[in-house]
Amino acid sequence: MSKKRKKKPSKPAGIQEKLRAKILNLLNANIQRAYTSKQVVRKLGFKRKDYNREIPYVLGKLEQEGKITALSHGAYKSNHEPEVIIGRVDHVNPRFAYVVSEDEEHDIYVRDRDLKNAFDGDIVKVAVSPAKHGKRPEGKVVDIVERTREQLVGRIEFSPRFAFVVADNRKIHQDIFIPLEKTNKAAHDDKVIIKITQWPSHDKSPEGEVIQVLGKSGENEAEIHSIMAEFDLPFEFPEHVLGAAEDIKEEISDEDIRKRKDFRDTLTFTIDPADAKDFDDAISFKTLDNGNFEVGVHIADVTHYVLPETVLEKEALDRATSVYLVDRTVPMLPERLSNGLCSLRPNEDKLTFAAVFEMTPDAQVTKEWFGRTIIHSDRRFAYEDAQERIDSGEGDLAQELVQLNKLALELRKKRFQTGAVNFETTEVRFKLDENGKPLGVIPKVRKDAHKLIEEFMLLANKQVATFIYKMREGKEKNTFVYRTHDFPDPEKVNTFATFARRFGHEIKVDEESISRSLNKLLSNIEGKPEENVLQQLAIRAMSKAKYTTQAIGHFGLAFAHYTHFTSPIRRYPDMMVHRLLQHYLDNGESAEKEAYEKKCEHSSEREKRAADAERASIKYKQVEFMQSVEDKIFEGVISGVTEWGIFVEIIETKCEGMVRLADLKGDYYEFDEDNYRVIGRSNKKMFTLGDNVDVVVKNTDLNRRTIDLEFVDEQDKFFYE
């Protein structure tokens, strides 16, 4: 019996090609699944009668070409080999995650069900499907390469037969099962550190055991210790490290002095916060006979005391930075060094490393010198004391401070003339009671005294980096540790420029104009409703500063070369800079680049961890403070929009909370990603980034450090008055 021949479809060739492309996209995007021709019709949204011949024909052709495989039950499966990339999981909410890879331009969208039980932060292999038009590439985890966390911190809850821990980390969306015999005497609602003993599988929850009880949830010590544990910050120094610090001799020998330039007879002082305990930089000042000024930036000589290959050195490298939480400091060095030997306290001889400049009255540097010094600070100023003398011109050393301020203002003006970007973000501090409870949130105010110190620190950092870079003209440059800030990503800048245009602001995005254009924008929006939002978006469009041996310059400061020389008490890269600078001053050969690059990468990673921990502690105190003002109406500005909620920053306290879309009344609201807004489906009411709104606190969650808000309209206000 002769086999029936398939009739060729009646549709034109162009339509067949489009149909072929759609079928391939469907099957290639779902490589684990198989579809019959009827299922293909339904998936593509066609009517069966219109394609009753075309789709089987196209499927047959694709099978002949080896693009797809026909299975025994009449379904077809893609033969496409997906691209596999390796990246880190960013589990942004319970429904989906992104996998971030340095080698990929876009993050990969992965639904929660396709994560293969990977946790936030894990390194995974992802099979990537072709991106649909206008959307991110999507993928599925095929393998977990590395589990990056063995411990978690959270709140323990008990039931009659078992316990479980709810992780503090908002990106951990699974509770951890704890057998009752492994709770380590924890009580219900305690904050605990747990060790993961069994990772989740398709039919089992993750399991762990309590290894440390931190205290009752909601108590200040327990919560701050939870943040420290969450970010793997050390609670204390090991005994052998403290012992090594105590063993250092305090006396300054005649030999130490002979190796240094003596500034003990030159006027020298420090300017620091009123509550500072360590003073790592001092300014010396002298008026010269030729009308110029000699300004010395003297930095605590930490590397005189912390020697290579010692336990103190290894501990400093591991920590890499001090961490400043709202109520305490997690220091890089033991207190005997940071608050004692290396602290430039007044009326004491101290060993320092200095950058000394001869400057004209208009702040031109005519001479410079770098090397080790010994100083004797004459005066310790708090910022407020120094500012009072700058403003009034009266008081001890007022004349010197006024002159230094004039030089600093000239340096600042020149920075912005050469393209530095003027980002002035508002930071907050807390007024705390004796138990650490916040009584108020106070924005930090930066005045001329702060900027004076900042400008001379920037000058020292820039000149040290430039000096090292230019030491070997025409030859391979000496290995050095730079603080770099690359040009912003053009795509991010274009996106930001498009949004700024909605407020009537034009930004030039080419490399030569972007700095001045940004400064003009920041100046124009000062005091306007959109100021905070545009400034935050501009910062997000910037690249991240980092430590590296590559001398690529600093975009934000508009410096061709820049380093960190001025804070070795609290930053390990500054210790590396001091060692390398002295090595090259002694005519040493170029240091091994690879070893220093690894230390730079480690320091950059530790810096990010410190910043995340500091933000978490601030957020915790903000949530705790907002608990006490739940009946008050606050003015806010919409600082972010997502598909699940609207973020609002409260102007008075700088606290940020979220109005959930599900809580918006009167309509169904949808996220308009391209226009940074949500819009009502029927009433067309819009909430757009930068809008001013009135809100009240609906709920606070200290454990997750979240604030839920709700909008207040005019007719609701009398309920709160």
Q: What is the pLDDT of residues 325-383, one digit of tens each?
A: 999 999 999 999 999 999 999 999 999 999 999 999 999 999 999 999 999 999 999 99
- For residues 43 and 370, the model is more confident at 370
53/170 same-domain check: no
Q: What is the pLDDT of residue 134?
A: 52
Return the structure tokens found at 618: 């601030």
Q: What is the pLDDT of residue 445?
A: 84
Most confident of 167-181, 561-575, 641-655: 561-575
Going by C-beta distance under 8 Å and a sequence separation of 6 or more, which residues neighbour residue 68?
A: 24, 27, 59, 62, 76, 77, 78, 79
Q: For 92-112, what is each residue's pLDDT tens digit?
A: 888 899 999 987 878 899 999
19/87 same-domain check: no
Question: Strand, helix or coil at 461?
Answer: helix
The Cβ-side half-sphere exposure at 412, using a 13 Å CA radius, reads 16
* Residue pair 436/325 in contact by the 8 Å Cβ criterion: no
174/124 same-domain check: no
202/270 same-domain check: no
Nearest CA to 353 out of 365, 363, 342 is that of: 342
166/91 same-domain check: no
How many angstroms separate the CA atoms of 640 and 656, rounded?
Answer: 10
Q: Span 127-133, mean pLDDT?
A: 70
- For residues 706 and 369, the model is more confident at 369
Q: Is residue 503 part of a domain?
A: no
pLDDT at 32 over 80: no
Q: Span 509-538, mean pLDDT?
A: 78
Domain with residue 96: its CATH number is 2.40.50.140
Q: Is residue 494 part of a domain?
A: no
- Number of Cβ within 10 Å of residue 692's Cβ equals 12
568/645 same-domain check: no
Q: Span 532-537, mean pLDDT?
A: 77
Region of poorest pLDDT, from 38-52, 89-103, 213-227, 575-589: 38-52
Q: Is residue 617 part of a domain?
A: no
| DSSP annotation string for 598-637 | HHHHHHHHHHHHHHHHHHHHHHHHHHHHHGGGTT--EEEE
3-state SS of the chain: helix, strand, coil percent to 5? 35, 30, 40
Q: Span 505-511, mean pLDDT?
A: 79
pLDDT at 14 over 70: no
395/304 same-domain check: yes
Q: What is the pLDDT of residue 714?
A: 64
Q: Is residue 193 part of a domain?
A: yes
pLDDT at 132 over 80: no
Q: Is residue 491 part of a domain?
A: no
Q: What is the pLDDT of residue 4?
A: 47
Domain with residue 192: its CATH number is 2.40.50.700
What percentage of the chain has pLDDT greater than the value 90? 60
Q: What is the pLDDT of residue 5?
A: 47
31/48 same-domain check: yes
Structural domain count of the chain: 5
Region of poorest pLDDT, from 263-272, 435-444, 620-629: 435-444
Q: What is the pLDDT of residue 716?
A: 63
Q: What is the dihedral of CA 206, 210, 212, 218, to 10 degrees?
A: 70
Q: For 54-72, what is each residue's pLDDT tens digit?
A: 778 888 888 888 888 888 7
291/318 same-domain check: yes
636/692 same-domain check: yes
Q: Span 586-607, mean pLDDT?
A: 96
- For residues 661 and 713, the model is more confident at 661
Look at residues 182, 217, 252 and tell me which one is the last residue of a structural domain.
217
Domain with residue 58: its CATH number is 1.10.10.10
Q: Is residue 317 part of a domain?
A: yes
Domain that holds residue 305: 239-482+562-608
What percentage of the chain has pLDDT greater than the value 70? 94
Q: Span 412-441, mean pLDDT?
A: 85
Q: What is the pLDDT of residue 1?
A: 44
331/399 same-domain check: yes
Q: For 616-633, what is each residue's pLDDT tens digit?
A: 999 999 999 998 887 789
Q: What is the pLDDT of residue 51?
A: 57
* Residue pair 694/632 in contact by the 8 Å Cβ criterion: no
pLDDT at 3 over 50: no
Tracing tokens 């205290």 back to the chain, one arrives at 215
Q: Is residue 108 part of a domain?
A: yes
175/110 same-domain check: no
Count Cβ atoms within 10 A of the Cβ of residue 261 and give its class: 0-12 exposed, 13-18 middle, 19 or more buried: middle
Q: Span 460-476, mean pLDDT?
A: 91
Mean pLDDT of the chain: 89
Q: Is residue 625 part of a domain?
A: no
